[in-house]
Structure 1
Amino acid sequence: MRFGEFQEFRRRRLSAQPALLDAAETNVYRALAPMRPEPPAGTSPVHRCDLARAWLRRFELPEEWSGHAMVCRGVRHGLGVVFPWLRTVQARLWLPGDVYPVYLELARAAGLAPAFYPTLPTPTLPRSAADHRPECLLLANPSKPLGRYLSDAECAAVVSWLRESPHRRLLIDSVYDLGAPFAAGTRRLLDTGRAILLHSVAKGWLWPRTFGVVLLGPAQAGLAEAFRGDPPTPAQLRLADRLLTEHGDVPRRVVGELAARAERMCERLPDDVLREIPAASRTCPGNYFFPVAIPAETLRRECGVLAVPVSVFGESNWSGSILTSLADAFGPTSGAAR
């Protein structure tokens, strides 16, 4: 069941069975809309180089990297620039097959025919033999719907994968990392010098497709001109400046609200369902995706819980499902009323 099909299914089920516990809302922007900062009213110019340095300072990265910090309109836009470059160098692209269907859409639009690896119930890296061909692995850290950061052992496996060939590179989607600095695993992968990091204000500040940074590695200097030729609008740059300078605490407050919603969800889940949520997902800051090793159909029919089928996120052989903590039932008003 794809995303659009599931949204219609969810609407029908909740209408027909009002007693169902809705653990299937996926739109964080709708759920947390009151927390999103307002755009600035002014028209003063903001320069991309200043934003790049402000972003680097926030995430405690060296300011001398500013020449490699490409300002863009978010992770989608960043991938929309990087993927065509991978096509020109005839790279083999590995995508997580059960994370985000838009990865595949963007890859195909760029003329790529990617291969896939699973992340559920745990990430399993590709095991193909290395050759002379450029090879790029896209991973998310933290990963959804896995709902957690990569473990130390998983990061070590990624580093080992890189070491098998000098032609291998990483793309790290860090949009779900709401902390500063980035997670230790992400910094470890950056330290290999063979990673491109993608980040945006989409989740931390609740402004999708507005502003992001693609941090290029030393070997990707040729991509810089592509980004410089396709910048955000002046209004988007002004908004980004305001988010970074005047609303730096919003990601922290978002993390707090999501933690409260997750706790309310857990309070209402049956005990046998709650036991299936991995501890790492429950404790990951800013997480609202919780994998459980129970099929969505079983949860609905036997437990009264509406969950998201894994197929909504992509192809998967795993039989479990995903709970989310974004529904109105877990919001502050509902929580106070109970």
Structure 2
Amino acid sequence: MRFDAFQDFRRRQLASDPSLVDAAETNVYRALAPLRPDPPADPGTVHRCDLARAWLQRYELPPEWSGRAMVSRGVRHGLGTVFPWLHAVRARVWLPGDVYPVYAELARAAGLAPATYPTLPAPVLPAAPADDRPEYLLLANPSKPLGRYLSDAECAALVAWVQESPHRHLLIDSVYDLGAPFAAGTRRLLSTGRAVLLHSVTKGWLWPRSFGVVLLGAAQADLAGAFRADPPTPEQLRLAESLLTEHGDVPRQVADALAARAERLFDRLPAEVLGAVAPAGRTCPGNYFFPVDIPARTLRQEYGVLALPVGVFGESAWTGSVLTSLADAFGPDPGPARRPGGAGGRAAGAVADRQAGQPESAIT
């Protein structure tokens, strides 16, 4: 089921059965709107080179990389610049097929015919042998909706994949990494010298499509001109400076707010469903996606939990589903609730809602 179709389905389900636990909201900007910093009032001039250096300093990356740190309007804009270049050099491109449908849309718009690999219930790297073409594999770390950082073994497998051929490279989407410096796995992949890192203020500061950085490698030096010819607006540059210098603590606040929401979700889940949530996902900072190896239909019909079917994220052979912690019921003041349990979880959850005096609008 595609995203738009699922949203219609979700609205109908919640309207017809308000006792459902809504674990299918995906709009993090609406959920965390009070944390989003206001744009700056000062219209002063900001230079891209200064922002690139400020970004490198925040993430503890070498200052001499400033010539490789291309200022962009975010990861989507970054990929929208990288993908046409990959088409021009006739690159072979691998995308995660169950992460973010926009990856494939951007690739096809650039004339690419990407192949895919699965990430759910765990990443499986492509086994196709290398040839003499440039070859790029896109990954996210943390990976969503997997809901966790890549493990040491998975990062080692990626390093081995790259080292099998001098033509292989990685594209790392780090937008969900709310920490500084970046995760150890991301830094390990960067150390291969074969990775392009894409980052933005989209998730950490809740400002989508405004500012990001694409950290190029030596093999992508020809891309610098394309980024310099298509910069963010002066207003976006000023916003970025404000976010990095005046609101540097916001990503931590976002991570804390999401951790609190996750705990409220877990308190509402039947024991069997909670037991299916992987420990790594429960402890990943800033996570709000929680895959479980239970079909969405089963969750809805047997446990009273409305989850995202995996098809919302792309093609997948996996039969599980994904829970989220962004619904209003998991916000700062959702009211007390008790965890339903056993086969009677749905009825128990409805009783808990009524006993807590929770209005239906808190769910719908």
Counterparts of 1:79 and 1:28 in 2: how far apart (Å)?
Answer: 22
1:195–1:274 distance in 2 versus 1, CA, 3 Å: same
2:149 is the counterpart of 1:156? no
Deviation at 1:172, TM superposition (A): 0.2
What CA deviation, in whole Å up to 9, does each residue of 1:298-330 have, x standing for no partner? 000000000000000000000000000000000
Task: Confirm whether residue 101 of structure 1 aligns to residue 101 of structure 2.
Answer: yes
Match of 1:218 in 2: 218
Aligned to 1:184: 184
2:242 matched residue in structure 1: 242
Q: Does residue 309 in structure 1 map to residue 323 in structure 2? A: no
Amino acid at match of 1:127: A
What is the CA-CA distance between 1:197 and the residue it aligns to? 0.2
Deviation at 1:135, TM superposition (A): 0.5
Question: Hey, what does 1:287 align to over in structure 2?
Answer: 287
- Report the Cα distance in structure 2 between the residues aligned to 1:109 and 1:336, rounded to whole angstroms: 48
Name the CA distance, whole Å, in 2 between partners of 1:272 and 1:220: 48
Q: Does 1:37 align with 2:46?
A: no
What is the alpha-carbon distance in structure 2 between the residues aligned to residue 272 and residue 228 of structure 1?
52
The Cα RMSD (Å) is 0.8
**1:193 corresponding residue in structure 2:** 193
Equivalent-residue separation in structure 2 for 1:318 and 1:226 (angstroms): 38
- Looking at structure 2, the residues matched to 163 and 65 of structure 1 have their Cα atoms a distance apart, in angstroms, of 23
2: CA distance, partners of 1:7 / 1:247: 33
Cα contact 1:264–1:335 (8 A) shared by 2? no
**Residue 88 of structure 1 aligns with which residue?**
88
Opposite residue 22 of structure 1, the aligned amino acid is D
In structure 1, what is the Cα distance between the partners aligned to 2:131 and 2:110?
A: 23
Q: What pairs up with 1:1-338 in 2 under 5 angstroms?
A: 1-335=1-335
1:42, distance to aligned residue in structure 2 (A): 1.6
Q: Indicate the SS of the match to 1:264.
A: helix
Q: Hey, what's the Cα distance between the residues in 2 that align with 1:295 and 1:137?
A: 29
Deviation at 1:218, TM superposition (A): 1.4
Find the aligned partners of 1:189 and 1:166 in 2 and give their Cα distance: 15
- Conserved 8 A contact 1:96-1:138: yes
One-letter identity of the residue aligned with 1:97: G
Query: What is the Cα deviation at residue 335 of structure 1?
Result: 4.5
SS in 2 for 1:11: helix
Tell me the alpha carbon deviations over residues 168-203 of structure 1, each in whole angstroms, 9 at most, x when there is no partner.
000000000000000000000000000000000000
Letter in 2 for 1:275: G
CA–CA separation in structure 1 for the residues paired with 2:336 and 2:34 = 17
TM-aligned CA deviation for residue 90 of structure 1: 0.2
Alpha-carbon separation, structure 2, partners of 1:336 and 1:274 = 18
Unaligned runs of 5+ in 2: 338-355, 357-364
TM-score, length of structure 1 as denominator length: 0.99
| Length, aligned pairs only | 338
Counterpart amino acid of residue 177 in structure 1: D
Structure with bigger gyration radius: 2
Give the Å deviation of 1:131.
Answer: 1.1
Q: Structure 1 stretches of 5 or more lacking a match? A: none
Distance 2:251 2:163 in 1: 35
TM-score, structure 2 as length reference: 0.92
Looking at structure 1, the residues matched to 336 and 224 of structure 2 have their Cα atoms a distance apart, in angstroms, of 50
215-224 or 179-188: which moved more?
A: 215-224
* One-letter amino acid of the structure 1 residue matched with residue 328 of structure 2: D
